[in-house]
Amino acid sequence: MSAVNPSQAAPEVLRRSLGLRSLTLAVVTSTIGSGWLFAPLYAARFAGPASLLAWLAGGVMAFGLALVFAELGSLVPSSGALAQIPLLSHGRWAGFIGGWCAWIAYLTLPTIEVLAMVEYVASTMPWLTADGGQGQVLSAAGIGVAAVLLVLMAWINLAGVSSLARWIDGLTSWKLVVPLLVSLSLMVAAGHWSNLSLDRSEAGANLSGVVNAIGSGGILFSLLGFRTAMDLAGEARQPQRNVPLAMGLGLGISLAIYLLLQLSFLVAVPPQALGQGWSGLQLSEHGGPLVAIAMGLGMGWVVALLLSDAVISPGATAMTYMGVSARVAWMMGRLGLLPGSMGRLNRQAVPVVALLWSLAIGLVMLLAGPSWQRVVSFLTATLVIALAVGPVSLIALRQQRPQAPRAFRLPWARVLCPASFVAASWAVLWCGHSALEGAVALVVLPSLLFGLVQQRSGHQLDAAAGSWWFLYLGGLLLIAELSGRTGVLPGGEGGQLVLTALFALLIFPLAVRSRLPRTSEEAQVAVEFTP
């Protein structure tokens, strides 16, 4: 067998070729995906005009988590860091749980974005969908089109991160212009400002409506794209500086666009469509709500813009998350949390095996026929569970590695980290009981199986350091169960908020104290610490 030419061998590390602009645009394109096409309608159904308040509250929660991960991203500048951070501070079991949550959510996102693309375009091509009994689902032809789109996105990702960045940069510029143009046009053309003051008792203009809009209306789902900068940190130039900046800039730009879009949607809805209140708002059977409004106003050019952006916005987001999911799996493979083959790179420094797995699972998911609305709550719950480890690990790592360089250091971390942990706990519950049950089952069962395999293989599990996860998730399930029973918790939604906050503040110091005595050596495969 001939020796391998080093110049032709696949690289062992990812290439650092992304600057601040590309990272920021990656955050924006991950955040402004299918959410801008559907979230305004679902948020308005839950909260009516109070959906603007819901976006602000969701933005505060997202910014709190982003600040936490800004310090973690400067400390752990590697791709797939959501798997590496909990392993670093709390060992193998916690690392698997954090990485597994992130990977499963990321695997699902490209398929959901492609579903949104096809569902929106079906307003002019109805043959792409069929009546599923409880709404429109993809037809056989629609599934075929969606599968081709997923394969195309995988091919672009296989070309390397530089090629992916060029696609993202160009598509994101379009994604920034179209929502702004559509929002301003709808406000000027319709201008039903009285909609903002309509008294609809069933619209949910109260705490319950705002809470449901944040968790189940797609608001948090839309705003959690800031973490993309961390997942691409291993391919970023000056990651300690650029990753925190990209998260803050990208999230700020995206939140401003979403607020403007929600406002324009509220004032563009015809008042006669609100006869049954915001909760009974129906705009179209095929396609999306903005297309229906634009058609009603006779704005054909806006319809054309929306249909083109219905391909571009979710498409760019799906393409980004397909690459990100592969990088999380790549890191888990390097850390021994998934099979080692996941850590294999091709000559373009792309985790090819992990990427092909992401594509294969996405294609299988298409056959299940999910819709955007059905899975958004479940995805949000899973994503927030993955992010909830951030505040815990930040305090733990400050005690484990106090002298490690941090380009960004979170001020008032002793206050902001517990507060962010409480907010994450609220967010998980706000996704709904069924979504929480599904997310917890998807986390706990594989984690127990992983623990069993590790023990039988004689590998260290760090069970004591990671067991707080099960207490935490079990407590959230119990609170959700109590909240669903009339009269058990006094104060309704307010009582649930107080109980959840107290529980999270009890778990937080316990989770921090359960950290490893020293950071895990296994997790330091891509982190450089100074003594």
> What does the pLDDT look like over 241-276, one tens digit per residue?
787 888 889 899 999 999 999 999 999 998 888 888
**pLDDT tops 60 at residue 163:** no
Cβ 172 vs Cβ 28: under 8 Å: yes
Cβ 490 vs Cβ 498: under 8 Å: no
pLDDT tens digits, one per residue of 307-351: 787 777 777 778 778 877 887 888 888 888 888 788 777 777 778
The number of beta carbons lying within 10 Å of the beta carbon of residue 237 is 13
**pLDDT tops 60 at residue 2:** no
What would the mean pLDDT of 412-430 be, rounded to a whole number?
Answer: 93
138 versus 373: the higher-pLDDT residue is 138
Q: What single DSSP character describes residue 136?
A: E
The number of beta carbons lying within 10 Å of the beta carbon of residue 159 is 14
* Tokens of residue 271, six digits: 């008042």
What CA–CA distance (Å, rounded) separates 64 from 388? Answer: 11
Cα 14 to its chain centre, rounded Å, is 23
Least trusted range by pLDDT, from 38-52, 75-89, 420-434, 445-459: 75-89
Band the pLDDT of 205: cuts 50, 70, 90: low
CA 283 → CA 120, 189, 384, 401, 411, distances in Å?
13, 17, 31, 54, 46
pLDDT tens digits, one per residue of 284-311: 545 568 888 888 888 888 888 887 877 7
What CA–CA distance (Å, rounded) separates 289 from 283? Answer: 6
Residues facing 137 on adjacent strands: 130
Residues facing 236 on adjacent strands: 18
Q: Which residues of 402-430 are buried (b: 16+ CB within 10 A; e: fewer)?
A: eebebbbebeebeebbbbbbbbbbbbbbb
34 versus 28: the higher-pLDDT residue is 28
What CA–CA distance (Å, rounded) separates 76 from 364? Answer: 33
What would the mean pLDDT of 471-483 be, rounded to a whole number?
Answer: 90
**pLDDT tops 70 at residue 489:** no
Half-sphere exposure of 393 (CA within 13 A, CB side): 32
269 versus 130: the higher-pLDDT residue is 269
Band the pLDDT of 3: cuts 50, 70, 90: very low
